[in-house]
A and B are shown apart, each in its own frame.
Chain A
């Protein structure tokens, strides 16, 4: 129905513009919140596809009132009770908590995602929302065929043919159905009934190791949060020891009473399961966390772990000094620095085989293998004299130089004129033709590559500079040969 038609029917209709992005943000917040029940939470893929395309039509599963979340709670219900009672308790807890936050929701639980999807949307009685084990065939039989998540044309044809209930499809011969409508109806039916697996793709990869701590009373003081983190970390480190792994990344999530979630994570540059060291890293980060009105649940997970390559943990003997990995503590230092300053700001220097001076020095993360001893010396010995500082971007300078190959007599840089008394050069460095240009194209065959002629010069004040001429001289419009000059570095 168009808006104009709706207005004609109901003149005092209140309308607001749809905001698919805001809807999406909201559903993501709710999905974050649902991580408290299981790490395996997905936004209904049908709905998200619709929102991303920006279409405003809202079919079942779309946003704007019909959004859905899929939770795989396998192995999570024992926290609420044993067997079916636990499953029912989880479902009740979920709906109750969500409605306390003023969300109207319907949650259904079944063996398959497809059945739960259909029940949550089309079940007529409240009691039907919980589908007991292996009961999906019976539960789905009375539901309308819309519950099968079919494309609109197929759905229309089904309705025209009088196939109104899902149960109507059960006795249909499969081969003609597939021939007439394609794979979709049968696939969806099998998925809903559980004869075909339908994996749910979680929003964030569930950590292999996680610990949780729920509080009877919400906590808010930073000391309490630190103490809780320490307890969680101790439990997680025990898990690491049993599995023989160490953490590369740890993430702590605070579930606040108002339903929002705050997260922060730390990274280490080698597998680590040393409780005090990890706690020290967390202490840097805990200050960023905001407890809001209080925290009722904390979950510590390790999204990235690696096989522990270190030595045996020290025995609790005060006399024997423990000899852990990275005995000099440099790696731990680098971790601490990287945590506060950012990983990209704590780096190693690696040499690269290149003729272009700015490409020789590359930075690499701390965990990268350091350059071999003497590798830098070898790189340096192959080249001419180089500056102690290299400008990241060569700066254009005004130069007075005799053509064609002489070093300049004067150059002006940052409004200072430098008279050159001594000069060395040129050292010609040609562009690396085997590399694509910055714009991605390759230089055509036969073309002379760009060259730079480098000069080491000394001005009358004793300052030593590294200048280059970009390319050969060209004849300008006024008949004068011109070339561009750049300052590229400062020599010792």
Chain B
């Protein structure tokens, strides 16, 4: 699916049908109005319109030089490099933690973390590790039994002025719920994040969608210790951003646990950790499309 295309700037089909006037307005003007609206909602909530990820190579593609504050962002755990379904979403959670940390740093307040437990094999996020990205003391942890409750809790959180960022862990992507969250986020200027343990068909109207898979780490030559965590990061959707050369921009990033920063691994170094094998639904020419 072409994600970064002129169509991406158009509002979703449903809203075109609802409002014929919107379709008549030139594309550039519409984008300008959106930009003003976003700036207004962000200004009302007293925050910047966007928050940079801290990786210039990626921020260059994003609108306003970072993740939009009043928008919905989706993060999903992608398949492992071998094409197998990822056995866990630890890496996606790490990236979500990084984003939550960036948002929480920019705006004071509570972090609303909504999740649906998965029965007996439930693995909740582990606060000592998350403290590398943000202070877990600021987290209000909400457990919902049903998806409706989860989305309701997220929406309530988005309307509350004291909430810095809302994150929801869920399995299914409900297009209606996604749209509602997106609108609520736009209105209040509070960022909303959705974290999914499995990739879902792209339905919702999020501003950005990221797919994260854990990648082999780079260990000291001669030793077989686990190095700094590396993730394969894909930007599957970039609604208001700059189109990139590649169809799906992808990077190899490394989380440095000591300096607490996330950086793009230069292509040459990324290769040195072992030849990257492309199989199954991992894009073929991926290794050549590394940006760094």
Contacts and interface: CB of A to CB of B under 8 A. Distances in A.
Given A422-B219, A462-B80, A462-B213, A366 B140 contact: yes
Interface string A344-377: 0111110100000100110100100011111111
B199 interface: no
A389 interface: yes
A333 B190 CA distance: 15
A327 B162 CA distance: 8
A71 interface: no
A11 B156 CA distance: 71
B87 A361 contact: no
**Which secondary structure characterizes the binding site on chain A?**
mixed
A392 B97 CA distance: 20
A270 interface: no
A429 to B, nearest CB: 13
A392 B137 CA distance: 20
Interface in A325-351: 326-330, 332-334, 336-337, 340-341, 345-349, 351
Interface stretch (B124-132, B264-272, B283-291): B124-132
A457 B224 CA distance: 10
B123 A341 contact: no
Given A345-B143, A463-B88, 17 more contacts: A333-B112, A333-B140, A333-B157, A341-B144, A361-B126, A371-B136, A371-B137, A375-B137, A376-B127, A389-B123, A395-B121, A413-B87, A416-B87, A422-B217, A423-B224, A458-B226, A492-B129
Interface of B: 80-82, 84, 86-91, 93-94, 97, 109-110, 112, 120-132, 135-145, 149, 152-153, 156-157, 160-163, 213-217, 219, 224-227, 229-231, 255, 257
Contacts of B122: 391-392
Chain A interface size band reads 35 or more
A380 B135 contact: no
19 contacts: A328-B160, A329-B162, A332-B160, A341-B143, A370-B137, A376-B135, A377-B135, A380-B128, A389-B88, A389-B126, A390-B124, A392-B124, A393-B120, A461-B87, A461-B214, A462-B81, A463-B80, A490-B88, A491-B90
A490 B162 contact: no
A469 interface: no
A344 B139 CA distance: 15
A345 B142 contact: yes
Nearest to B82: A461
B193 to A, nearest CB: 15
Contacts of A351: 127-128, 136
